[in-house]
Structure 1
Amino acid sequence: MEKFKVPSRAEVSESNQGIFDNLEKGLGFVPNLYAYYAKNDTALADYLALQNRKSTLKAKEREAVNLVVSQINDCRYCQSAHTVLGKMNGFTEDQVLEIRGGSASFDDKLDALVKFTHSVTTNRGSATSESKEAFFAAGYSEANLIDVVIVVGDKTISNYIHNIAGFEIDFPLAAELVAEQV
């Protein structure tokens, strides 16, 4: 089986080298996922533009969506990265695990978002009537719905890339969910 290799700065295009330099300045390192995108001349910039677009969702809400989708798609890389980012956005370890399990009992509005995201992701773009009704009853709008689906798509792209390539996880490894947490 072919081993997928994360490219070094010297192995990517000049434009991607510039992005590497900016990531290094901003994050202190170039995450392996981003470096892997740089094997394609335009994918890294395209992905970062998608990921960094303006959204009606708060950063904490986007992290909740990222955690749910990464759990459903069984992407250990993204579970690990978004556990770190989720904590940076105010979630505790227990809250991160609960969100990955498909609920957020500690916050009613976030719980509706998590359950809606879970429904959209597990039903491949559809959602149950109950999850949609709860989402809107919690105060979310159709503009928010569109942003949730965009974040689901964004995270699914990364989940699939890592699940196929399987390169090293360069974040602290997220805890595995036990059966009662799922």
Structure 2
Amino acid sequence: MPATAFPDHTLESAPAATRPGLAAIARKQGFLPAAAGRMATSPEVLGGFLKMNALFESTTLDKLSREVLSMTMATRNDCHVCVAMHTGILTALGADPALVAALRESTPLPDERLEAMRRFTLAVLATNGEVDDETLRAFTAHGYTARNALEVTLGIAAYTLSTLANRMTGAPVDGPLTRFA
């Protein structure tokens, strides 16, 4: 199906069920990203992503670790919208530019703890969740917990949904995110 099948919904044109979510996104971002507008074609997909993302944001993982997971998913799934968005978030968090560059290039991170998050995320994906004891020990040796390991699966689920939906809809990088593309 061509990406043109997914309109850039506005608050006025979007299905009624998606309007509150889109309004919240527009308030938070200062504009309505086309990615969200296109995802609104399915109220269930937009609602599902927003709920999963809110749950992921409420986990015991620290913000920087969550962003490492998000950016790892964005680069792994080649989602240019997510790469730009999470580059912007990392920049706003004051993340080391070397960390951001390594995440964008899918290379080892300069911070060992955050590299453990990146590696664990990739291991969970590569093994369909069946990580071995050594992999789990390597993750927890950097201060993460068994709870965090399970929370990684929630982040993977949320960002699998968004990255694949953004690719399917051909969502462009727009608004203030273009400087992070």
What pairs with 1:1-182 in structure 2 (closer than 5 Å)?
2=2, 3=4, 4-53=6-55, 54-100=58-104, 101-105=106-110, 107-127=111-131, 130-170=134-174, 171-172=177-178, 174=180
> For 1:82 and 1:89, how far apart are their aligned partners in 2?
10
Cα deviation, 1:150-173, whole Å, max 9, x if unaligned, reads 101111111111121212112226
User: Normalising by structure 1, what TM-score?
Assistant: 0.84
Structure 1: segments with no counterpart, 5+ residues: 176-182
> For 2:127 and 2:97, how far apart are their aligned partners in 1?
27
Q: CA deviation at 1:92?
A: 3.0
Counterparts in 2 of 1:162 and 1:22: CA distance versus 1, 3 Å: closer
Structure 2: segments with no counterpart, 5+ residues: none
> For 1:139 and 1:81, how far apart are their aligned partners in 2?
27
Cα deviation, 1:83-110, whole Å, max 9, x if unaligned, reads 11111222133211213424222x2221
Choose between structure 1 and 2: higher helix proportion.
Answer: 2
> For 1:156 and 1:102, how far apart are their aligned partners in 2?
20
Give the number of the structure with larger relative contact order, counting CA–CA contacts within 8 Å between residues 6 or more apart: 2
User: Normalising by structure 2, what TM-score?
Assistant: 0.84
% identical aligned pairs: 24
Runs of 4+ in 1 over 3 A off after TM superposition: 122-131
Q: CA deviation at 1:120?
A: 2.0
Counterparts in 2 of 1:165 and 1:21: CA distance versus 1, 3 Å: closer
> For 1:33 and 1:163, how far apart are their aligned partners in 2?
9
Q: CA deviation at 1:123?
A: 4.0
SS at match of 1:52: helix
